[in-house]
């Protein structure tokens, strides 16, 4: 008679090859193919239960074939709310039922649970926000470049036609006064610039837009196009530059601030009355913003009264204002009550103080506006599920700005076409356009060709992410430092777990993952591969291997130790993260776990046909590393039978209180030893010997006991197998 241990070893000595051999058996491979081809067609729990081939395959895979008859019971298992601790499956003591429920995605109503759709993942949302911020910076830089060019060259213009022939100067001037150079004809612009503003019938005066009059008034062209002195006075050039910054939305950029403060320092010395100051919008812009007063909200009358207040008089207008900023504004200037200057409008110290205050806070309002816009954008993105809904929120203008589009030239129709495009499809609209901004925009959003939001492409599903973190914490993450206490080790592991769970959501391809050594180390520790010496190329080959392809790298028996790592991630063969279908009864990792489980169960069944002891040993080998509590053993009939035999505990112990049973186990078995493969193997060898003793006569088992003689001894009826001591009866 072949001993239990030798039979067990015939399967377990090279487990990957054994599983590959069994998986290739025609009945096993045919069952797997049917399951893989048809599980995706299931649309409800009843569909699943009423397909005997699918249902029995699944039940076998999770060691529940004895319950094939109990369909009503299994329906309650599959439709339990896993997040509800009081749900049906969470009340069952046998953990196999919870494992089974977690392998499928049925709702409590029995339909397939719908996965949440995501317009943008956190990484892409950050990209859009960063793009919006960078656009503001880029606009400021571009405005500064154009302003410098304008100031350097406008003095060389000697006729209107010379200005018309220089598009940079012309577009700058037209834009400065709130007009779009792309929408106004050059004929109209020329007619405006040569208008006689004293003639009510001139072009500038008859057009239904006052900005044309402002544009005409900024230049000194005669009606024949010649220059009356200079094309622009220095003061009008300054005003044009100032207006350009305002018109292009760049007035709160560093470049604009530098221009305004330089102008302020030069211009304030020429102020001889309060009315001079009030008439200069650029100077007033700097002064008011320095004291957090919005120039657009202040009346000229009030400002004049404030600036001419006698601050020694408690009843003066400045002192009577509830906003102390007005008093500070008055103190920054030296105007008499009649509006004249008392010496100079400002001393050098006063000027420097205003400039410093302005330089410190000039962009506060803009930053607040940007923050408000960003918050509104994020709220909009989180509340919509279609392109149409998105473009009818404040997100529309935010997107246009972030990606550098002009609302006057970018239609919602074109924007919709962009967002519906697949950036990975070379024939898609965005790729055919060869427009980098279009491609980037499409890549940063997650819509299908019909304009509906899709489920997110993720590097790990929530289930696998949770399992990876749990396994890492179980191992203390391999982060134990010399001299660190157990509590310190656990704290370190928790910190790493939080980082991993937070950061994995930003990973969009395998290279992103491999570049982050902290994430890689975490994963290798979790899957017990920290000493495997895997290179980046090795990891890329593992993580991009298709676990559903029998010929893939990961499915070669010699690479089976990397299989759990590969299945835990959701990378395609091209290295990109895969979409999670909105409605599917099993995702890829759940499907692989099921088919792997079926092969393992088949192996255990075949071994059990020869020896029930070998079946129990193989089952224990599979479960050992996941056992963290004696209650897991007590809740699993097969594990309990194995443990009672291996530890020499009577089956009658089951009549005792559950806590007493747990104590009986932990007195003889250190649960943490089950994380050590060497100690697990010793325990299996011990089980095998005692199983044979209990199920054969002494003469036939004496040879079996010799297997253990290399590291065992007997005395007074005690077999001692380091580190476990078990009483044995002969």
Tokens of 285: 């812009």
Instruction: Provide the pLDDT confidence category of residue 64 given band limits of 50, 70 and 90.
Output: very high
The Cα-based distances of 145 to 9, 133, 139, 255, 403 in angstroms read: 78, 19, 10, 9, 20
pLDDT for 697 equals 52
Tell me the per-residue pLDDT of 704-713, one tens digit each, with 9 for 90 and over.
444 444 444 3
pLDDT at res. 483: 58
Coil vs helix vs strand at 402: helix
Full DSSP string of 627-689: --SHHHHHT-HHHHHHHHHHHT--GGGGGS-HHHHHHHHHHH--GGGGG-HHHHHHHHHHHHH
> How many Å apart are CA 220 and CA 77, to the nearest integer?
86
Q: Residues 389-416: pLDDT tens digits? A: 999 999 999 999 999 998 888 999 999 9
d(CA 610, CA 617): 13
Residue 476: per-residue pLDDT: 63
Q: Using CB atoms within 10 A of its CB, is residue 473 exposed (0-12), middle (13-18) or buried (19+)? A: middle
pLDDT of residue 721: 39
Q: How confident is the model at residue 717 (pLDDT cuts 50, 70, 90)?
A: very low
- Residue 5 and residue 3: Cα distance in Å, rounded? 5
pLDDT confidence band for 528 (50 / 70 / 90): confident
What DSSP character marks residue 522?
A: H
Evaluate if residue 626 carries a pLDDT over 80. yes
Tokens standing for residue 135: 């656009």
The predicted pLDDT at position 560 comes to 86
- In 3D, which of 265, 263, 221 has the Cα closest to residue 241? 263
Higher pLDDT, residue 72 or 628: 72
Beta-bridged to residue 457, according to DSSP, are 579
Token code pair at residue 289: 């913003």
Maximum Cα–Cα distance for the chain, whole Å?
Answer: 128
* Interval 182-225: pLDDT, tens: 889 999 999 999 999 999 999 999 999 999 999 999 999 999 99
Cα distances (angstroms) measured from residue 468 to each of 442, 444, 528, 568: 31, 27, 11, 8
User: What is the model's pTM?
Assistant: 0.64
């Amino acid at each position: 008679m072949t001993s239990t241990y030798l039979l067990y070893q015939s399967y377990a000595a090279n487990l990957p090859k054994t599983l590959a051999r069994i998986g290739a058996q025609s009945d096993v491979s045919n069952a797997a193919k049917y399951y893989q081809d048809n599980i995706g067609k299931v649309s409800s729990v009843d569909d699943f239960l009423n397909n005997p081939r699918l249902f029995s395959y699944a039940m076998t895979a999770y060691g529940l074939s004895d319950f094939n008859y109990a369909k009503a019971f299994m329906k309650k298992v599959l439709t339990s709310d896993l997040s509800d601790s009081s749900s049906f499956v969470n009340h069952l003591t046998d953990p196999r039922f919870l494992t089974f429920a977690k392998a499928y995605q049925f709702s409590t109503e029995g339909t397939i649970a719908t996965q949440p759709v995501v317009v943008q993942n956190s990484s892409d949302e950050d990209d859009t926000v960063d793009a919006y911020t960078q656009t503001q910076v880029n606009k400021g830089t571009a405005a500064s470049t154009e302003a410098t060019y304008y100031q350097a060259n406008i003095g060389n213009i000697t006729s209107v036609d010379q200005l018309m022939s220089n598009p940079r100067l012309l577009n700058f001037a037209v834009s400065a006064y709130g007009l779009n150079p792309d929408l106004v004809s050059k004929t109209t612009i020329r007619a405006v610039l040569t208008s006689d503003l004293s003639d009510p019938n001139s072009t500038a005066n008859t057009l239904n837009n006052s900005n044309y009059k402002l544009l005409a008034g900024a230049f000194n062209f005669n009606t024949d196009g010649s220059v009356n002195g200079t094309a622009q006075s220095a003061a009008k050039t300054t005003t044009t530059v100032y207006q350009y910054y305002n018109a292009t939305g760049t007035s709160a950029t560093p470049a604009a601030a530098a221009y305004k403060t330089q102008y302020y320092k030069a211009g304030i010395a020429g102020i001889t009355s309060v009315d001079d100051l009030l008439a200069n919008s650029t100077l007033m812009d700097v002064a008011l913003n320095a004291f957090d007063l919005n120039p657009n909200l202040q009346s000229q009358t009030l400002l004049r009264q404030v600036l001419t207040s006698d601050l020694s008089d408690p009843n003066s207008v400045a002192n009577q204002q509830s906003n102390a900023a007005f008093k500070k504004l008055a103190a920054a200037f030296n105007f008499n009550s009649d509006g004249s200057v008392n010496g100079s409008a400002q001393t050098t110290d006063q000027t420097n103080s205003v400039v410093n205050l302005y330089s410190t806070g000039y962009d506060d309002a803009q930053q607040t506006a940007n923050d408000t816009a960003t918050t509104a954008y994020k709220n909009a993105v989180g509340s919509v599920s279609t392109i149409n809904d998105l473009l009818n929120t404040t997100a529309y203008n935010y997107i246009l700005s972030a990606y550098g589009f002009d609302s006057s030239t970018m239609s919602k129709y074109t924007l919709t076409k962009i967002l519906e495009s697949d950036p990975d499809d070379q024939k898609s609209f965005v790729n055919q356009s060869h427009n980098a901004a279009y491609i980037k925009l499409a890549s940063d959003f997650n819509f299908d060709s019909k304009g509906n939001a899709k489920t997110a492409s993720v590097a790990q599903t929530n289930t696998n992410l949770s399992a990876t973190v749990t396994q890492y914490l179980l191992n203390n993450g391999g982060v134990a430092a010399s001299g660190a206490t157990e509590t310190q080790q656990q704290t370190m592991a928790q910190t790493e777990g939080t980082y991993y769970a937070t950061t994995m959501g930003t990973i969009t391809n395998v290279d992103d993952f491999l570049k982050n050594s902290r994430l890689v180390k975490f994963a290798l520790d979790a899957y017990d591969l920290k000493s495997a010496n895997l290179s980046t190329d090795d990891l890329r080959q593992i993580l991009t291997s298709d676990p559903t392809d029998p010929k893939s790298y990961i499915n070669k028996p010699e690479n089976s130790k990397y299989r759990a790592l590969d299945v835990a991630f959701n990378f395609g063969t091209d290295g990109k993260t895969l979409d999670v279908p909105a409605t599917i009864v099993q995702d890829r990792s759940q499907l692989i776990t099921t088919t792997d489980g079926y092969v393992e169960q088949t192996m255990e069944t075949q071994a059990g046909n020869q020896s029930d002891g070998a079946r129990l040993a193989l089952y224990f080998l599979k479960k050992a590393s996941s056992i963290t509590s004696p209650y897991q053993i007590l809740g699993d009939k097969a594990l309990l039978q194995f443990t009672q035999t291996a530890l020499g505990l009577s089956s009658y112990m089951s009549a005792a209180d559950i806590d007493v049973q747990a104590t009986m186990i932990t007195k003889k078995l250190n649960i943490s030893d089950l994380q050590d493969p060497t100690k697990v193997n010793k325990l299996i060898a011990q089980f095998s010997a005692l199983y044979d003793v209990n199920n054969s006569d002494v003469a036939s088992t004496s040879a079996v006991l010799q297997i253990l003689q290399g590291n065992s001894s007997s005395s007074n009826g005690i077999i001692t197998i380091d580190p476990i001591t078990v009483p044995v009866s002969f």
